[in-house]
Amino acid sequence: MRVAVIGVGLIGGSIGMAASQRLDAETVGFDPDALALALALERGAISHAAGSLEEAVEGADAVFVAAPVSALPALIAEALDAAGPEAVISDVGSTKREVAAVDDERFVGGHPLAGAETAGVGHARADLFDGAVWYLTPTERTSGIRYERLHRMLSAIGARPVAIDPQTHDTLLAIVSHLPHVLANVLAAQAASALGTLGQQLPAAGPSFRDATRVAGASSAIWTDIYMSNRDMLGHAIDETIDRLRVVRETLRAGDATAVTAWNDGAAEARHQLLEPQLGAGELRELRVSVPNRPGVVAHLALELGRAGVNIPDMALYPAPDMSEGVIAFWVAGEDAAAQAQTIIASLGFPVFRA
């Protein structure tokens, strides 16, 4: 197998290392930064350094575009132009609606939740994605065969592929990633200003402040793009935060201790709910689904299972010889998840049985 990596930073370099060590793949990299490319080669993040994107992509079975979000559309288009008809092309951008417009059956958007920082290939490692959710945003155009290949590759390098639609992805990330970064930035700036006015230093305090500002001022080289590419969703999230803060403000102004307690207990309940164990622990169970050979059916099934929180550690496609129909095998973890997946698939009208 030949894997091409366009952009050999922390993420691209780690994909290369993992593909090389865990898939025994030949890995070809390209980066406009010649020093980064040389370091990637030296560290074994890639087995060959290409002189251009075209050269890297030529003959690749899978192509990962790992560049800042604003550079992705152009680079993905170049990669699709240069790639062969059987290749699967993906990206690792932190927002997904823009690349969802790519109209090519060979493309599947992706976003691994690992190593968001711009640490560079010097910090790349083969186990970066172990256990990490790797969102995939297949569309109706996406070829099921290519989706399956990508899903299996990602599982094999240790990640947990989860299908999600691009709009849901960007709304979700606005809340669980972009908004926390905004709040950390705001709190750090506000505290620095207040401490200056008070003539005080930050005490070596308890964990609340340190934790709350740990991601403040993350690299602008990455984060300006992320904020800008998701500015509508992030804006809505900020609006809601402002509304919620206003409610707290009014409760404090009113001096209503009972309401303060109810609000605080509500947050405890919310946190508990967020951290409840996810579906999907236990032995792998296999489900087999008969599907017609039409575009989008694999994406549709994967998205519905992802939406229900069913983890799919592995999957396989078995097309019929005449390609008129096929069978998809899904492996899910634990009896509860298997039963839930079976119910969901059946309700979508596909014949499904336990293998």
Which residues within the stretch 49-78 sit at the binding site for a copy of itself (CB under 8 A)? none
Rounded CA gap, 169 and 303, in Å? 11
348 part of the interface to a copy of itself, by CB under 8 A: no
Scanning 48-56, 214-222, 294-302, 346-354 for contacts with a copy of itself by CB under 8 A, the matching segment is: 214-222
State which residue, 222 or 316, has the beta carbon closest to a copy of itself: 222
Q: 28: which DSSP letter?
A: E
271 part of the interface to a copy of itself, by CB under 8 A: yes
183 part of the interface to a copy of itself, by CB under 8 A: yes
279 part of the interface to a copy of itself, by CB under 8 A: yes
Rounded CA gap, 169 and 139, in Å? 13
Out of 20, 139, 143, 171, the residue judged to bind a copy of itself by CB under 8 A:
171
Rounded CA gap, 92 and 222, in Å? 12
- The count of chain residues that interact with a copy of itself, using the rule CB under 8 A, is 97
Please enumerate in sequence order all residues whose Cβ is within 8 A of that of 186, keeping only pairs 6 or more positions apart, or say none: none
181 part of the interface to a copy of itself, by CB under 8 A: yes
240 part of the interface to a copy of itself, by CB under 8 A: yes
Token duo for residue 235:
């804006």
Token duo for residue 54:
């075209």
User: Rounded to whole angstroms, what are the CA distances from 28 to 21, 70, 128, 166, 177?
Assistant: 14, 23, 19, 28, 31
Scanning 37-45, 83-91, 289-297, 307-315 for contacts with a copy of itself by CB under 8 A, the matching segment is: 307-315
Please enumerate in sequence order all residues whose Cβ is within 8 A of that of 266, keeping only pairs 6 or more positions apart, or say none: none
Instruction: Tell the residue number behind the tokens 């075209």, with chain if given.
Output: 54
Out of 85, 103, 203, 321, the residue judged to bind a copy of itself by CB under 8 A:
203
190 part of the interface to a copy of itself, by CB under 8 A: yes
307 part of the interface to a copy of itself, by CB under 8 A: yes
State which residue, 216 or 329, has the beta carbon closest to a copy of itself: 216
Residue 121 CB, shortest distance to a copy of itself, in Å, is: 19
* Identity of the amino acid at 195: L
Element (H, E) at 111: strand 107-112
154 part of the interface to a copy of itself, by CB under 8 A: no
**Residues 101-140, interacting with a copy of itself (CB under 8 A):** 113-116, 131-133, 135
Scanning 58-66, 84-92, 179-187, 336-344 for contacts with a copy of itself by CB under 8 A, the matching segment is: 179-187
Asked whether the beta carbons of 220 and 213 are under 8 A apart, the reply is no
The sign of the CA dihedral 196, 201, 207, 213 is positive
